[in-house]
Amino acid sequence: MENRKKALGKGLEQLFSDERIDFNNFEQKIYETAREEDIISISLDDIRPNPYQPRKDFNEEALKELSESIKVHGVVQPIIVKRSIKGYELVAGERRTKASKLAGLTHIPAIVRDFNDEEMMEIALVENIQRENLNAIEEAECYLKILNTKHITQDELAKRFGKSRSYITNLIGILSLPSVIKDMVIRKDLSMAHARSLSKLSDQDLQIAIAEKIVKDGMSVRELEKIVNNEDYERKVKIKRAVNINPKYKLYEQALSDKTGSKVSIKNNKVEIFFDSEQDLERILEIINVTIE
């Protein structure tokens, strides 16, 4: 039993010490070290969400599809929980839990493991970043919490999640926006690209006024950038303008960077997408739907 606890502890430690964070490996370690008798059936009424769960909204259509699958095949993979004063707290498997309730189940297979509060928060953050389609605000909050709790740099964080440094910086930057604008992003009235451009401005009243105009007039990101770059408006960071660079290219670079999570450069009729390993290159190719036979 002591060896089993050490193995699980090592798995959690590796979640943040490895060069690239991979929640699937961490969860797989728990399943591999679980004996058959460790998988028990617990009442869905006795389960409450991870209190550190950053995700607020779940795709109802996706949950319905999963619930229909559960009605036919059951819950294929047990959830992971920890004991609490009143029942259990979810460690991994909130979508399976919600879908099981939709399917009319009363119990669900589970593996019980012990984690402290800090570990529960780390697990919830990483699982959501790697598995869930978080909105930009939720994702930014996840990254910021990891930076604050693990005391790592943005460069280290970007490397571990396979993102570019600029992606992390820009994403966290939108958290400084007024709450009314962040609500627009959550509702998808504004895109992350719109929010990122607005975050460059210092005046919050101006940010809100422009955000409302974006929603009202359907303003594109390119049109917004022209406004944001107006020298009459004070920016948080003064931009040193490059010479002889097509301004459209910066928009294209940022769009490709957001898509791939990597640094992108467009110049001299060439598009360069940077990667730091063969695994990282394979990740990028998968994102842009390039397959090698």
Residue 152 falls inside a structural domain: no
Residues 108-127: what's their mean pLDDT?
Answer: 83
Residue 38 falls inside a structural domain: yes
How confident is the model over 32-42, as pLDDT tens digits? 888 888 889 99
Q: What is the CATH number of the domain that holds 89?
A: 3.90.1530.30
Judge if 186 and 256 occupy the same domain.
no
Res. 12: pLDDT tops 70 = no
If one counts the domains in the chain, the total is: 3
In three-state secondary structure terms, 57 is coil
**pLDDT given at position 54:** 63
Residue 215 falls inside a structural domain: yes
Residue 162 falls inside a structural domain: no
**Average pLDDT value for the chain:** 80
pTM above 0.75, yes or no: no
Whether residue 55 contacts residue 96, with contact meaning beta carbons closer than 8 Å, is answered with: no
Residue 61 falls inside a structural domain: yes
**pLDDT given at position 27:** 76
Q: How far apart are the C-alpha atoms of 119 and 100, rounded to whole Å?
A: 25
Could you list the residue range(s) of the whole structural domain that residue 6 is in?
2-118
How confident is the model over 201-247, as pLDDT tens digits? 888 899 999 999 999 999 988 888 888 877 655 555 444 444 455 66
Residues identified as active-site: 94
Judge if 96 and 109 occupy the same domain.
yes
45: left (phi over 0), alpha (psi -120 to 50) or beta: alpha
How confident is the model over 168-210, as pLDDT tens digits? 888 999 999 999 999 999 888 998 889 988 988 888 899 999 9
